[in-house]
Amino acid sequence: MSVHSRWSAYRWHLIRPMPVASVVNHALDEVLLRRVGAGERAPTLRFWGRIEPEVVIGRFQSVRNEVDEEAARRYGIQITRRLTGGGAMFVEPENIITYSIYAPQELVAGMSFVESYAFLDDWVIEALRSLGIDAWYEPINDITSSGGKIGGAAQARRFGAVLHHATLSYDLNSDRMLEVLRIGKEKLSDKGITSAARRVGPLRQQTNLPRDVIVERMIETFAQRCGGLVEDEVSEEEMAEASELIRTKYGTREWTYTLP
């Protein structure tokens, strides 16, 4: 089966950004993944909306190792844990583009994790290149460019489906990021810390286009790849399920502060 025929084998739905509290996005990831796996929702591309800054850590990280909690409190930054693995990220609503893909596992059947990361992010590379950005995939989970790293992806395969989500940097408050994240502060020299920030190449530095224009080009490119997108939204039932997951899991201290 060709790359494009894998995408076009499904009727894809699109959920546009809906500003919500940080923890809601993480709960929705599990709800929509479960629903796609159960055949209760069509394969879906969702762009995240946010109303507050956050530091999100990977499933197998610890808050103490990754976050300066005092700095996070000082700036009103929420600390959350996502369903997938990978590293900690500093997120400000207007400086980040995050999307999630929820699909049957058959979409990536026969692929290794490395192959599936490249496959599931290839449309993003195409969209960015169409905007004049020299972007490419760097194994295992980075989207990078000649101007620096643009973003990273994470993935989970469970409940009969695959969740693949990625966060792209549109702009970056590097000073605040370095205050809040523990990027080896004890070990890095000032020069090293500067280098850590410079490794990121935000899209705003590489193009003068507004963030929303980049998102629209991404949507257009995905639609071309899969043969069209059906406009959709999170249902009342899905939001209710997310609220329950926040109460029992994603909004609890036990989940956020669990040690791997």
- Average model confidence (pLDDT) for the chain? 92
pLDDT band at residue 189 using 50, 70 and 90 as cut-offs: very low
Residue 32, by phi and psi: left (phi above 0), alpha (psi -120 to 50) or beta?
alpha
Is residue 146 pLDDT above 50, yes or no?
A: yes
Residue with tokens 């205050």, as numbered in its chain = 179
What burial letters (b/e) apply to 177-210, b meaning 16+ CB within 10 Å?
bbbbbbbeeeeeeeeeeeebeeebbbbbebbebe
Rounded CA-CA distance 235/243 in Å is 12
Dump pLDDT digits (tens) for 84-118: 999 999 999 999 999 999 999 999 999 998 999 99
Residue 148, by phi and psi: left (phi above 0), alpha (psi -120 to 50) or beta?
left
pTM greater than 0.85 (yes/no): yes
Give the pLDDT score at 1.
Answer: 56
Percent of all residues in the chain with a pLDDT value above 70, rounded to a whole number? 92
Dump pLDDT digits (tens) for 56-84: 999 999 999 999 999 999 999 999 999 99
Give the pLDDT score at 199.
Answer: 78
Helix, strand, or coil here: 101?
A: strand
Give the pLDDT score at 34.
Answer: 98
pLDDT band at residue 2 using 50, 70 and 90 as cut-offs: low
pLDDT band at residue 5 using 50, 70 and 90 as cut-offs: confident
Give the pLDDT score at 192.
Answer: 43
